[in-house]
Amino acid sequence: MSDDLPILQKMYDLYKVFYQYSVHLPKKDRFGIGQRCENQILDLIEQTIKASKSRREDKQAVLYDISLKLDTLKIFVRLMKEVRAIDLKQYTLLQGHINEIGKMLGGWIKSMN
């Protein structure tokens, strides 16, 4: 993945970390909120690829969609911590990845204006 966008690499890394944590989630959480988080991350990756290949006039709408999905993921991960599906250390690591992706995305959106 060395030739890809840095934000895409960060999302790829987020998925790998989340995947390792999801294996240890309680069954009820793995097939509930865990699955929703995994789908959000995969959607983020897909939408980022779409944004990177989109024409400039279409790109901004895709980037805002990515931003919405990222905000949703942030809330889902916080909820997982609050219901104790993940511990504080796992939460902190996931949120660190999400926050870094958010900063990168914000820069990308600003560069479009």
Asked if 94 contacts 77 with a C-beta cutoff of 8 angstroms, the reply is yes
- Residues 108 and 75: their CA atoms lie apart, in Å, by 22
Residue 44, Cβ density class (10 Å: 0-12 exposed, 13-18 middle, ≥19 buried): buried
Question: So what's the pLDDT on residue 16?
Answer: 97
Rounded alpha-carbon distances, angstroms, from residue 7 to 58, 88, 110: 19, 25, 15
pLDDT value at position 1?
45
Residue 113: the pLDDT is 80
Nearest Cα residue to 74 out of 59, 95, 55: 95
User: Would you say domain 6-112 falls under CATH 1.20.1440.60?
Assistant: yes
In this structure, are residues 90 and 21 in contact, taking their beta carbons and an 8 Å threshold? yes
Residues 27-55 pLDDT 10s: 989 999 999 999 999 999 999 999 999 99
pLDDT exceeds 60 at position 3: no
pLDDT digits (tens, 9 = 90+) for 66-97: 999 999 999 999 999 999 999 999 999 999 99
- Whether 66 and 51 have beta carbons less than 8 Å apart is answered as yes
Residue 4 clears pLDDT 90, i.e. is over it: no
60: pLDDT strictly greater than 80:
yes
